[in-house]
Amino acid sequence: MFIKDLNDCEEIIAGDNSILRELLHPDKADISIRYSLAHAIVKPGKTSRSHKLKTSEVYYILEGEGMMSIDGETEKVHEGHAIYIRPDSLQFIQNTGEKDLIFLCIVDPAWKKEDEILF
């Protein structure tokens, strides 16, 4: 059995400027998965940096509200929303609320630095 506690994950500032903790990654644990799973936070009034991934990604909003932008299309998002992001889509998320915007990021296949382009 493999269990990872969020509190045991190192907090980093990701390339897109979100506060990130990587929960699952096949290159960093002896687990047979092809995706990666991270916990992200964007503070009130902040926006993640525009970026593209060569792979598909899903955001699942746990808390807060914001505006998700994918290839120039922008929609309000909030707790309970799952957002599919196609490969090579220009994306960013803005926190429009008064509390932290907290979400999970699922990248398939697993996130690799060389698969991300920052703008």
pTM: 0.96
Number of domains in the chain: 1
pLDDT of residue 19: 98
Collapsing DSSP to helix, strand or coil, 8 comes out as helix
CATH of the domain at 24: 2.60.120.10
At 100, list the tokens.
Answer: 């932290």
Give a yes or no: residue 31 inside a domain.
yes
Give a yes or no: residue 1 inside a domain.
no
Residue 62: domain span: 11-100
pLDDT of residue 116: 97
Give a yes or no: residue 81 inside a domain.
yes
pLDDT of residue 70: 98
Which residue positions in the chain have pLDDT lower than 70?
A: none
pLDDT of residue 105: 98
pLDDT of residue 60: 99
Give the torsion sign (CA, 69, 80, 78, 43).
Answer: negative
pLDDT digits (tens, 9 = 90+) for 56-68: 999 999 999 999 9
Region for residue 49 given its phi and psi (left: phi exceeds 0; alpha: psi -120 to 50; beta: otherwise): beta
pLDDT of residue 11: 97
